Amino acid sequence: MKNKFSLLLILVMFALLQTAGYAQNKVVKGTITDAAGLPIPGANVLIKGTKQGTSTDFDGKYSINASTGQVLVFSSTGSKSVERTVSTSSEINVKLVEEVSQLNEIVVVGYGTQKKSDVTGSVSTINAQQLMNRPVSSATEALQGKIAGVDITTNERPGSLGTVRIRGNRSLTASNDPLYVVDGVPLMSASAIETLNPRDIESMDILKDASATAIYGSRGANGVIIVTTKQGKSGRFTLNYAGTVTTSDIVDRSPSMSASDFITFRRWAAYNLDPAKYANPATPTLANDKLIFDSALDGQTSRDNVLKGWASGTWDASKVTNTNWTDYVTQTGVSTEHVISASGGSEKVNTYGSVGYLDNQGTQKGQWYKRYTAKLTSNITPVDWFKMTASFNVSWSEQDFGMSTLSARSGTSPDAIYGAAKQIYNIAVPYDANGNTIINPGGESGVYTIMDEWEKSTQQSQTMRVLGNFSANLDFGKMTHSLEGLTYKLNFGPDFRSWREGVYVDGTSSLKINANGSAGSNFARLSNRRDLSWTVDNIINYDRTFAFKHKVGLTLLQTASSWNIENSAMSANNIPKPSFLWNAMGSVDATNAANNARMSSGITERAISSYMARANYGYDNRYLLTVSGRWDGVTQLSEGHKWDFFPSAALAWRLNNEEFLKSVDWVKNLKLRLGVGTSGNSSVNPYGTLGNISQIFLPFNGQSNAIGFTTNEPYYTDTQTGMPNKNLGWEKTTQYNLGVDFSFLNNRISGTIDTYRSDTKDLLLRVDIPPVSGYPYIVSNIGQTKNHGVEVTLNLIPIQTATGFTWETNLNGAWQKDEIVGLANGAQDMVSNSWFIGQSIAVRYGYDAEGLWQNTPEDVAEMAKWNANGYKFTPGNVRPKDQNGDYKMDGTDRVVIGNSNPYYTMGWNNNFTYKGFDLGINLYGRAGYTASLGGEALTAHANQRETDYWTPDNPNAEFQKPILGQATSGSADPFSGLLGFEKASFVKIRNISLGYNLSKDVANKVGLANMKLYVQAVNPGSIYQSLKWYDFDTEKTYYNRSFVMGVEVGF
């Protein structure tokens, strides 16, 4: 019986084991989706601890044989891995979210990438989400106020690039622009950045210290901005659309005087010129106004307009017509942008593509900019050890200045049409009694009408840009385990640019019309330029971890780049077919000297070859070391000095991984960094070391015909314009950086603090030499500068509630100061260049002022001493500062008044989110510098902005008393310009944006994956301006204020 029971028990247990075995070995199915609920094709599903796995299909579905209790690991590129334990259920659905850990964030460091936690240099990053938080039309706009130590001066003209400086200036005459690298390809000019569609950018990494930039050798001395564009990602095919409509208007901080105010202003100017001839403005009279406003000075129509104020026999300013000339040249600018992008594929083949269109109509009539962009990137991985990438960024842009900037009458400002309008008196009228345009509405021969000028004078350009990137990657570690961590990359990057500019000025334009109103000779110019460059990189990388604690990285690079620039231009007067603009110059009679037909052409070639080695070592994720060395050789320097070596080294200590901090939960990251490196600058004319040759035309018989178009046989001779320098070499900058990265309270508080110093020696300077040498100058390596500063970035999440409300804020600020340490031949100063030992690189130098002379006994006594030396000071004049007490102004009284570069820059960026809403507020500012605004001549000889000027009843005015006449006539205040130096600082609200993201459920109901609507105000106002009538951001008296409406849709 006992044996039977035992047998029965064995049979039951065997049956139970069989049942359990069948329960454990089963098919597990499910779907893997992203954060938006969209299926992810090509995602990996792996049984942990084994090599068994599978991938999802196009619909994100998978199927795998697994046993109960085993762990499945779900992963996809760019997402956090998720683990799930197999239980009794046969279905496991997983949602993968994007990897957002700051410490695991991948940073592009040049010729490779690193985890942010492993970076030893000073590197800052702006990702795609941060870029799109503030929709912009150009990439550099997105950096403004976002990165400590990066200062950007705005250029609001459509299609134009602002000035970008990383940690201030270092060189006196060579370029201080940073190097731009797009998808690993160094650009030949910064203008290419403006041709990129910002929505195609995945990230922008800014390398600031020399330990990070030295790997770019001679090209990284001023910092490096690395732009990584979007790549294809494995996953479901996605289609996205983004569109904006923007309206803009000019905000003028310095409006012109009204006609009434200008008349009073002119009366004071006349009275101050000759009190015996002109009556006191306190009691205006008709006779006095007839004397002041004469037809020769102001034009008959302007004079008649003023005298309308006396129509009733007593003065009535309301009867005088007030013409706001800027109304005729401004408009509400309307800009529209449309971008369509698509991405998708598998782990083996994926693609990203986009097309974009931008149409920007400027706020000044006739100005517009259009840009068409297209991008295509494909990644092909036929086997896991080989990957190919092909990428194109193509753009076509067209730009119209609205009015030619070439004429001496209009100056060279791109805003000539607006500036010209502000020069015309408000008492002047645009048309005569017969409705005809008045050519000189103010009577002055140098002040021309601006009516319809943009239709008679134009300057248009067209630019095509093609940036390519082709690479092949071999991963030897996936071929054989013994070579794990070893990779090779071949990268080829062509950069092609074609530029054409046409200028046409019609004979009826105010720039060409004759004084009697007849048409003058028209003018046309056509300029062409073609730039072609290429870069080839051979890169070997080795990354391996030994014994769990020793992490080793090695990068070897051989690279070469070549640049070829060809240009040509032709111009002529008297174009026989004006309707053809600049396209009919071939029909001009070149033998007629009156046609002034000219042509020119040129070619510039240069190249660079380099070798670089970089080694990284990390021990136990605590101690990090990076060393690098780069050898650069360039064609533009002298023989024997073309090659040089640029080393760097950096250490980092991750204190949070030490035993004494591991148990401190609120310390997420704490890293100290120390770096030093040397980089170079070879920004000189490619042929400057040879002694440039220029051609001089010497006509026979004293004739002065144009080169190539003479009726007599000319004689040509060649002359050298610069002395050759056989010893011209590199300008070098060595920089030291000490920094700390920190993150506390689960990343609620994070940031960086950096302090640095850079020393630049062997400056590339053009030095004047005695004419007896036969040469006017020579370019030499002389002089030395230094630059030091502090940068602070603080990221905070002050509020994060369970109800979904979050406030994230970023504060960044920088202080920097540069100084000239040495100059040519041991000289203390080079006054003609405003360079002084111990002073900043860019100073304001000249006479200083002590306010205005007043009608007090003390000032009257002082003025008598000055006037004894030939001056004619009277109360209300500018009082110059006598530095040596000799009561006269000469070279000994010139002093350094201030610095033109800001000591302080800052940014404050805030983002508030609540459920589907987000609100962004961005501020930035500068402080601690001196602007030179030229002062106010106050001659009443041209239109005048609203100005606080001196009168006996207004002695504490900002500016001196007006005096009728011209500065060249001797009647104007000779020291008026001294009041043009202004202490500059501002804090400006760059933009305020409000957006709403439709919930997933609502979006899906209308067939969308996601949708966002937003509005934005750009330049809505300022928090602080040290000067009310000037905008220090645009460096003009006006700026554009814009309102944006946008939509982003995902399908």
Per residue in 110-153, pLDDT (tens digit) is: 787 777 777 888 888 888 777 776 667 677 777 888 888 888 87
- Residues 37 and 128 grouped into a single domain: no
User: The CATH number of the domain where 77 resides is what?
Assistant: 2.60.40.10
87 and 123 co-located in one domain? no
Q: Give residue 688's pLDDT band: very low, low, confident or very high (50, 70, 90).
A: low
How confident is the model at residue 77, as a pLDDT?
66
Closest to 670 in 3D by CA, of 652, 643, 685:
652
**Nearest Cα to 176, choosing from 604, 683, 815?**
683
- 322 token code pair: 């007030």
Cβ(679)–Cβ(643) below 8 Å: no
pLDDT tens for each residue of 173-232: 777 888 888 888 888 777 777 778 888 888 888 888 887 887 887 777 788 888 888 888
- Which residue among 183, 212, 232 closes a domain? 232
Please give the structure tokens belonging to residue 273. Answer: 């010129």
Listed residues 70, 95, 120: the one ending a domain = 95
pLDDT for 4-50, tens place per residue? 444 444 444 444 434 444 445 788 999 998 766 777 877 889 888 78
617 Cβ neighbours under 8 A, 6+ residues apart: 550, 551, 552, 553, 624, 625, 626
- How are the residues of the chain apportioned to helix, strand and coil, as percentages rounded to the nearest 5? 15, 45, 35
Kindly report the CATH number assigned to the domain that includes residue 169.
2.170.130.10
Mean pLDDT across the chain, nearest whole number?
A: 85
Same domain, 58 and 116: no
**How crowded is residue 868: how many other Cβ atoms within 10 Å of its Cβ?**
10
CA Rg, the chain, in Å? 35
Residue 221 lies inside a defined structural domain of this protein: yes
Using CA atoms, how far apart are residues 939 and 956, in angstroms rounded to an integer? 20
In this structure, what token pair is assigned to residue 437? 């345009």
Q: What is the pLDDT of residue 613?
A: 95
Q: Are strands 805-822 and 829-830 parallel, antiparallel or unpaired?
A: unpaired
Residues 466, 392: contact at Cβ < 8 Å? yes
Per-residue pLDDT for 413 more than 50? Answer: no
Read off the pLDDT band of 706 (50, 70, 90): very low
How many structural domains does the chain have? 2
Calpha distance 92→43 (Å, rounded): 14
Per-residue confidence (pLDDT) for residue 1009, from 0 to 100: 86
SS3 of residue 864 by DSSP: helix
Query: Is the pLDDT assigned to residue 929 strictly greater than 90?
Result: yes
Tokens, residue 374: 């297209």
**Alpha-carbon gap, residue 1006 to 995, rounded angstroms:** 19
CB atoms within 10 A of CB 936: 20
Strand residues in 858-950 grouped as ranges (E):
878-880, 895-899, 904-914, 917-932
For the beta carbon of residue 483, count every other beta carbon within 10 angstroms.
15
Measure the CA–CA gap between 1010 and 242, rounded to whole angstroms. 12
Determine how β-strand 843-846 pairs with β-strand 805-822: unpaired
pLDDT tens column, 98-108: 655 555 567 67
Q: Is the pLDDT of residue 159 over 80?
A: no
Judged by average pLDDT, the poorest of 511-525, 983-997, 1013-1027, 1029-1043 is 511-525
Does 110 share its domain with 82?
A: no
Is 1043 within the bounds of a domain?
no
Contact 138, 198 (CB under 8 A): yes
Answer whether 54's CB lies under 8 Å from 64's CB. yes
Q: Collect all residues with Cβ–Cβ distance below 8 Å to 243 and sequence separation of at least 6.
A: 336, 337, 338, 339, 1046, 1047
State the CB neighbour count (10 A cutoff) for residue 172. Answer: 22
Percent pLDDT > 70 in the chain is 88
Other beta carbons within 10 angstroms of residue 865's beta carbon come to 15
Q: Are residues 157 and 188 in the same domain?
A: yes
pLDDT of res. 389 = 95
Instruction: Say if residue 881's pLDDT is above 80.
Output: yes
Q: What is the pTM of this model?
A: 0.81
Residues 222 and 128 in one domain: yes
DSSP, residue by residue, 222-268: T-EEEEEE----SEEEEEEEEEEEEEEEEEESSPBPPHHHHHHHHHH
139 and 222: one domain? yes
With 60 as the cut, is the pLDDT of residue 154 above it? yes
Indicate if 189 and 112 belong to the same structural domain.
yes
pLDDT of residue 1: 47
Strands in 43-121 per DSSP E? 44-47, 53-55, 61-66, 71-75, 82-85, 94-95, 106-108, 113-115
Name the residue with tokens 């320097």. 637
Q: Which of 42, 70, 95 is the last residue of a domain?
A: 95
pLDDT of residue 725: 77
In angstroms, the CA 267 to CA 949 distance is 13
Q: Give the span between the Cα atoms of 814 and 794, in whole angstroms.
A: 12
Q: Is residue 125 part of a domain?
A: yes
Q: Is residue 148 one of the residues assigned to a domain?
A: yes
pLDDT range class, residue 160, cuts 50, 70, 90: low
- Predicted confidence band of residue 919 (pLDDT cuts 50, 70, 90): very high
State mean pLDDT over 342-369: 92
Per-residue three-class SS string for 942-968: CCCECCCECECCECCCCECCCCCCCHH
Model confidence at 749: pLDDT above 80: yes
Distance CA 129, CA 106 (A): 15
> Given the structure tokens 């320098």, which residue do they identify?
725
Distance, CA of 205 to CA of 229 (rounded, Å): 12
Q: Give the pLDDT confidence score for residue 315 in this predicted structure.
A: 95
Distance between CA atoms of residues 133 and 148, nearest Å: 18
- Range among 9-18, 439-448, 916-925 with highest mean pLDDT value: 916-925
Residue 794 lies in a domain: no
**Amino acid identity of 363?**
T
For residues 89 and 181, membership in a common domain is answered with: no
Is the pLDDT at 410 greater than 60? The verdict is no
The answer to whether 69 and 21 have CB atoms below 8 angstroms apart is: no
Domain range enclosing 46: 24-95
Task: Please indicate, yes or no, if residue 121 is contained in any of the structural domains.
Answer: yes
Question: What confidence score (pLDDT) does residue 16 get?
Answer: 41
Contact (Cβ atoms closer than 8 angstroms) between residue 404 and residue 457: yes
Q: Note the pLDDT of residue 577.
A: 81
* Structure token digits, residue 515: 């004084």
For residue 6, give the H/E element and its range.
Answer: helix 2-24
- Alpha-carbon distance 810 to 805, whole Å? 17
Query: Are 90 and 116 found together in one domain?
Result: no
Nearest to 334 by CA among 393, 272, 249: 249
For residue 42, give the nearest of 54, 52, 50, 30 by alpha carbon: 54
Same domain, 55 and 169: no
Mean local confidence (pLDDT), 766-778: 70
Average pLDDT (302-306) is: 90
Where residue 620 falls (left for φ over 0; alpha for ψ -120 to 50; beta otherwise) is: left
Query: Three-class SS of residue 579?
Result: helix
- Cα–Cα distance, 573 to 506 (Å, whole number): 10
Report the pLDDT averaged over residues 817-826: 83
Residue 427 sits at φ, ψ, to 5 deg, of -85, -10
- pLDDT over 90 at 519, yes or no: no
State the Cα–Cα distance between residues 1032 and 785, nearest whole angstrom: 26
Tokens found for residue 728: 């011209």
233-237, 678-682, 766-770: least confidently modelled range: 766-770
Nearest by Cα to 476 from 537, 552, 540: 540
Task: Please say if the pLDDT value at position 524 is more than 60.
Answer: yes
**Contact by Cβ (8 Å): 139, 227:** yes
Q: Are residues 121 and 36 in the same domain?
A: no
CA 168 to chain centre: 14
Nearest Cα to Cα of residue 210 among 904, 738, 821, 635: 738
pLDDT value for 21: 42
Q: How many angstroms separate the Cα of 177 from the Cα of each of 162, 173, 1021? A: 11, 12, 29
Is residue 179 one of the residues assigned to a domain? yes
283 lies in some domain: no
